[in-house]
Structure 1
Amino acid sequence: MRALPLLAVFGGWLVQSAHAAEAQDWLQRLASAEQQQSFQGTFIYERNGSFSTHQIWHRVESSGEVRERLLQADGSYQEAIRVAGQLRCVSGDSAVIAGAIEQTQTKNASFKSLGNWYDVQVTGASRIANRDTVVLALTPRDPYRYAAEFQIDSQTGLPLKSILLNDKGQMLERLQFVQVDIGDVVPSMLQPSAACKPVSVAATPPSKDVTQAWHSDWLPPGFTLKSTSQSPSSVTQDLVDRLTYDDGLSGFSVFFEPLHGAQVETSHSQLGPTVAVSKRIPTDEGGVMATVVGEIPLGTAERIALSMRAGPGDKRQATP
């Protein structure tokens, strides 16, 4: 008789393991789908109570290179072309169009480690744009990141709906397709209009090792440094250093801009899931403004900004 509870526990463990494996399988399909599947469609992008409608053409070339064209279908004319994940031209408000196009691209990094930072579960099935979907929920295991939900096309693995939620379960951002056609995209549909102006890509290598110039005394667990860069300030033409981090799903960047002795106040703002927190870091050259920008909770960004320091740091893993 005493064996029955043990069998029940063991059976429950097997069911949980099967569910976890199913969730990881859908996560991996989601990670690779946009690199394998061409499609075109129309989606709604919602942030901070504001809606916009966009058309997208997404073509995977025989070489594996991905080309995309994004066109805002309402309001002012806005267009963008992206090749291999890099913006090649943009028209209209580049911040608005770049924000929308960023949400159409899931992270290319492996999702295998996300289980360390999120509870990943298949929570049901639904339909989006007249296609069957699987609902995948990612609930953070700590307060340093947002929750996410994806509705994934059952046949292709493409995300047909994605939402970000804060710690109270309130929606911060939504992208949802209302029409989608899976299959080859005619190359002519990817040609930019005359209004789409080329985006210059700096070919000059950084003048210094950015990782030797700056470090953080604290980072949220799971966020690792993915890239560093330098670019001219749009205001002063000083070189602005940039460190970019992500956990495989969410990400943020830290910008460092010389102040030349100017006195500035700490500031913070939030638009939907995107936050920006600025803090002055004293240096021998008159101080630097460190600005954290990303899709992370405001409290997380504030803690990161307060932890930024000049110099390379000691390379140790910070504690939560």
Structure 2
Amino acid sequence: MRFIPIISLLLGSWLALPAAATEAQDWLERLADAGQSQSFQGTFVYERNGSFSTHRIWHRVDEAGVVRERLLQLDGPDQEVLHVDGRTQCVSGTLADEVGDYQAWSARDLSSQRLLESYDLRVIGESRVAGRAAVVLALSPRDQHRYGVELHLDQESALPLKSLLLNDKGQLLERFQYTQFDLGASPTDQQLQSGAGCRPVTASKAATEVVGAWRSDWLPPGFTLSRVAERRSPVSDEQVTSLVYFDGLARFSVFVEPLHGVMAEDARSQLGPTAAVSRRLATADGDVMVTVVGEIPLGTAERVALSMRAIDGQALQ
């Protein structure tokens, strides 16, 4: 495999030839549609903070274009998640939070101009993953508010066979990689049937209230509010609504949780690529804890947490 470290790309991105950038953008265009048009199944490994886990995936696109996908962890805790057209239908454990987004590389936002404004994009070589020929793309951040990504795309389908998340020194933060991949193998109804422990996920009625009650005075360039989700609170372990921000590649969530008199301290931590910053904030309706969690640098998460404001004194009840 021909390989150029991400740090070298960061230092020499101004030398990139327009033709190389165009080739890389063409691959992104293919990737944007790949997961919406092709069925497959396989086994992949996920590495984070020195820990490995193995997962099975079944991904089917039916004749009507409906995409169904099931992820199942094969070692450690019994965890799974079921998606239909990108929406989580049921989940057990924390699998959706840990590896669910790694199957979102085919999101159409990947080909957006917003993404190209935030990352320098290049084809940097070829590789072989799970016995299949792949092309290697490097997405190098144009600022300090996001990490670099190296994508190995299947040359036949443009589906991602491997991805590496890298810091500004080129050090590996996270790895997603197939060990077995069957293209065109359409999963059966039985394979897409979730287990008894997979709990249904329903939309939150509080979502509109959260969006209407809070705003951010500052966001990293390129990030916009993409959706509102239900996640487990980093503060109380309860289910709360979070605001999810997306730049076309990276995501982070902002949790706003009423404390109801509970004592909680400000906190900050960095575990591998994931930053978590909690800040206690006083509002007219009582104190809340604002927590920013995502695969962004710690300084960026801190700045977002400090920028959150209640609109007209509003807060969650």
Q: TM-score range by the shorter chain?
A: 0.7 to 0.9
The 5 Å alignment of 1:191-210 reads 191-192=192-193, 194-202=195-203, 204=205, 206=207, 208=209, 210=210
Equivalent in the alignment of 2:248: 248
What secondary structure sits across from 1:190 in the alignment? Answer: coil
In the TM superposition, what is the alpha-carbon distance from 1:97 to its structure 2 partner? 5.1
Task: Determine if the alignment matches structure 1 residue 289 to structure 2 residue 294.
Answer: no
Residues 127, 133 of structure 2: 8 Å contact kept: yes
- Aligned partner of 2:304: which letter? I
What does the per-residue CA deviation read over 1:148-172, in whole Å, with 9 as the maximum and x for residues that have no partner?
A: 0000001100000001111221111
Deviations 1:215-239 (A, max 9, x none): 1111100001112367897998999
Take 2:161 and 2:252, find their aligned partners in 1: how far apart are those partners? 24
Aligned-partner Cα distance in 2 for 1:235–1:278: 8
How does the TM-score come out when normalised to structure 1? 0.85
Counterpart residue number, 1:305: 305
Determine if the alignment matches structure 1 residue 221 to structure 2 residue 221.
yes
Which amino acid counterpart does residue 167 of structure 2 have in structure 1? Answer: N
The 3 A distance-change label for structure 1 pair 280 and 148 is same
Deviations 1:254-280 (A, max 9, x none): 111111233321112233322221101
Q: What is the CA–CA distance in structure 2 between the aligned matches of 1:136 and 1:246, rounded to whole Å?
A: 20
Instruction: Report the equivalent of 2:62.
Output: 61
Q: How many equivalent residue pairs?
A: 298
Deviation at 1:175, TM superposition (A): 0.5
Which residue of 1 is the match for residue 88 of structure 2?
87
- Matched residue type, 1:132: A
One-letter amino acid of the counterpart of residue 183, structure 2: I
- Per-residue deviation at 1:110? 4.5
Task: Please show how residues 115-134 of structure 1 align to structure 2 within 5 Å.
Answer: 115-134=116-135
Unaligned 5+ segments in structure 2 are: 1-13
Structure 1 position 198, deviation (Å): 2.8
CA distance in 2 between counterparts of 1:14 and 1:169 reads 19
Give me the whole-angstrom Cα distance separating, in 2, the residues matched to 1:191 and 1:49.
Answer: 30
- Who wins on radius of gyration, i.e. which is larger? 1
Contact kept, 8 Å, 1:162 with 1:175, in 2: the verdict is yes
Q: In the aligned structure 2, how far is the partner of 1:224 from the partner of 1:258?
A: 24
Identity %: 54
Q: Could you say if the C-alpha distance between residues 220 and 312 of structure 1 is closer, same or farther in structure 2, counting changes exceeding 3 Å?
A: farther
Q: Is the 8 A contact 1:47 1:271 kept in 2?
A: no
User: Cα deviation per residue 1:107-152 (whole Å; 9 max; x = unaligned)?
Assistant: 3325222221111000001111111100000000100001000000
Residue 38 of structure 2 aligns to a residue in which SS? Answer: coil
Please give the TM-score of this superposition, normalised by the length of structure 2. Answer: 0.85
The structure-2 alpha-carbon separation of the partners of 1:56 and 1:305, relative to structure 1 and needing over 3 Å to count, comes to same
Instruction: Mark the CA change 1:224 to 1:76 in structure 2 (over 3 Å): closer, same or farther.
Output: closer
Counterpart of 2:102? 103
State the shift of 1:83 in Å. 1.3
Larger deviation: 68-77 or 120-129? 68-77
Distance 1:100 1:237 in 2: 19
Residue identity matched to 1:173: E
1:212 aligns with 2:221: no
- Would you identify which runs of 4 or more consecutive aligned residues in structure 1 move more than 6 Å? 230-239
**AA of the residue aligned to 2:103:** T
Greater alpha carbon shift after TM alignment, 280-289 vs 134-143: 280-289
Paired amino acid for 2:76: G
Confirm or deny: 8 A CA contact 1:238 1:258 kept in the other structure.
no
In structure 2, C-alpha distance between the alignment counterparts of 1:23 and 1:263, rounded to whole Å = 50
1:48 aligns with 2:49: yes
- In structure 1, the partner of 2:8 is none
Please tell me the residue identity of whatever aligns with 2:70.
R
Contact kept in structure 1, 2:41 and 2:58, CA below 8 Å? yes
8 Å CA contact retained: 1:239, 1:257 = no
Counterparts in 2 of 1:285 and 1:297: CA distance versus 1, 3 Å: same
